[in-house]
Structure 1
Amino acid sequence: MPPLESFLSPGLLYGLEHGSLTCWVICGLLALFSITSWAVILSKHFLLSRVQKANLSFLREYRESNHALELYQQREPHEYSSFYHIYHAACRELSWYLLGEDEPGSTFAARLQGAGRITPSQMGAVQVAMERSVAEAALRLEARMGWVSTSLSAAPFLGLLGTVWGILDTFSTMTTAAGGATLSTLAPGITTALVTTVLGLLVAVPSMICYNALVNRIRGMVVRLDNFASEISAGFDRTFVDHRFSNEALPSLSALGTPSMPAFTGSSSSPIPSAAASHAMHARV
């Protein structure tokens, strides 16, 4: 295996060899940000892949089921499927309004056969439960992404801080150097100052690329969560909601009263012609 020095530029190696205490402190902070960022990026990548695979598996089972509550009655958990948690939250709320219980018991199927239907307002409560579950699933998918955002935002500024600090130290060395400042006396300080900027960019650029890729991936998954919730809502609405009109009678026309017509206030010099006079006028023309 080739040594690490073969992958680094000579200028970067020179700057690290002559690094000051401030440079090493900033490099240590940058390394900490980099480790944290990559740990979150890799764990989030594997988590999203697992969630996506579990969602596809549950979606296939849901669409192949014979009844909308069949998977809920089986009580087979899908831990990594966000679709399952949305479906389970909707089924719990629906079961409460249909049967008065939020967990399927031994007589769940038999009681469901004799259950009636729910009202549109009760279906609204089921939709609220699904929306709440979608929001919780989105928060779980976006968890710890702030660490990556902080790393890609803070790393360039830390590198710039180290550069400015190193240049200030270099100027201080110029004023105290015996015999005048030469290139050999200024090179270590300037090179060390630029090292922190290079390391800051090496931390920020990969973090920014991975962060944007993960954010776009999470947004796509959240959209699919909303679409799945809409699919469940439409299926439940067709199967379990009673959309018949209520028995409340409409008020009669007499109870509404007579319409009020505004009185016409015309001048006496231009009376309104009657219908017969108007007809005779047109006949003469």
Structure 2
Amino acid sequence: MPTLESLLSPGLRYGLEHGSLTCWIICGVLALLSIISWAVILSKRMLITRVHKANLSFLREFRESNHPLELFQKREHHEFAAFYHIYHAACREMAWYLLGEDEPGETFAARLQGAGRITPSQMSAVQNAMERSVAEAALRLEARMAWAATALSAAPLLGLLGTVWGLLDAFSTMTHTDASLAALAPGVTTALVTTVLGLLVAVPSMLGYNGLVNRIRGMVVRLDNFASELSAALDRAFVDHRFTNETLPSMGSLGAPSMPAFSGVGAGPLHVFAARA
């Protein structure tokens, strides 16, 4: 069975064998950044997969319900479904405007049958509640993503720092020893090890991070689409779009227009003609 040492290239093995303290410190930091980035990426992928399955389950129940507020009335709770949190926020706001309460009671169904409709301005408040819930869900999905982004951007820079530092140490030996290739080889090889490790940390993590970002964007789009679907269902069921017949005021009720009085001083041609007459 191949060992880890046999999988490394001869140059990388040689550089690690002659690694300095600075090289090992930077390699340790790179390993820590790799663990952080992959921990965030894998945990987020698992979370998004779980949320997606819960969303599909809730969406199926919502579309099979007989009434937009049926699931709200049953008090069903879907913890991992972001669709449920959007639905619950909208239903609470809608129930407040319809019945004056934001949680379904024992007489909720009976009172809902006798309730009227809400105005479009009140429906705007319901839509605002859905938008806030969508924004909160997006923030939860994007939480801790900054840690992975920081690890990705810092890994190549740390590798470059280790390379520059190692080259400075290698060339500083030229003043004390014979400046031959054999004398410079250990220092130069050790210096290049950090750049290689930095790229090995950054490149795979970047691929996983970009794939995760695309999944989060797709999830946010689906949240917006569900909010639009829910808004349309609530609008059809509970919003009164009839306009009140408001008559415009008559010209007589506005009064006669007042004309400014002109004096003879500085009068125009009309006043001069009147004076001659």
1:258 is displaced (CA, Å) by 8.7
1:87-236 map, 5 Å: 87-177=87-177, 180-236=178-234
User: Take 2:254 and 2:210, find their aligned partners in 1: how far apart are those partners?
Assistant: 62
Q: What corresponds to 1:243 in structure 2?
A: 241
2:229, 2:9 → 1: CA distance? 56
- How far did residue 3 of structure 1 move? 1.3
Change (3 A) 1:89 1:30: same
For 1:249 and 1:109, locate their aligned partners in 2 and report how far apart those are by CA, in whole Å: 39
Q: How does 1:61-72 map to 2 (within 5 A)?
A: 61-72=61-72
Any idea what the Cα deviations from partners look like across 1:194-219, whole Å, max 9, x if unmatched?
00000000111111111111111111
Question: Quick one: distance in 1 between partners of 2:251 and 2:58?
Answer: 55
Structure 2 unaligned blocks of 5 or more = 258-277
Deviation digits for residues 45-83 of structure 1 (CA, Å, limit 9, x no counterpart): 100101111111111111111000011111111111111
Q: CA deviation at 1:114?
A: 0.7
Aligned partner of 1:83 in structure 2 is 83
The size of the alignment, in residue pairs, is 258
In structure 2, give the amino acid aligned to 1:208.
M
CA–CA distance in structure 2, aligned partners of residues 96 and 173 of structure 1: 78
CA offset at residue 105 of structure 1?
A: 1.0
Deviation at 1:249, TM superposition (A): 3.7
Separation in 2 of the partners of 1:257 and 1:225? 55
User: Which piece of structure 1 moves more, 151-160 or 180-189?
Assistant: 180-189
Deviations 1:159-181 (A, max 9, x none): 0000000000000111111xx22
Aligned position for 2:270 = none
Deviations 1:200-245 (CA, angstroms, capped at 9, x unpaired):
0011111111111111111111111111101111111111011112
Quick one: distance in 2 between partners of 1:155 and 1:228? 39
Which amino acid is 2:91 matched to?
C
TM superposition score normalised by structure 1: 0.87
One-letter code of the match for 1:234? A
User: What displacement does 1:247 show?
Assistant: 5.2
What letter corresponds to residue 100 of structure 2 in structure 1?
G
Secondary structure of the residue aligned to 1:72 is helix
Tell me what 1:13 maps to: 13
- The sequence identity of aligned pairs, in percent, is 80
Comparing 239-248 and 32-41, the one that deviates more: 239-248
CA distance, structure 1, for counterparts of residue 230 and residue 62 of structure 2: 10
Calculate the TM-score normalised by the size of structure 2: 0.89
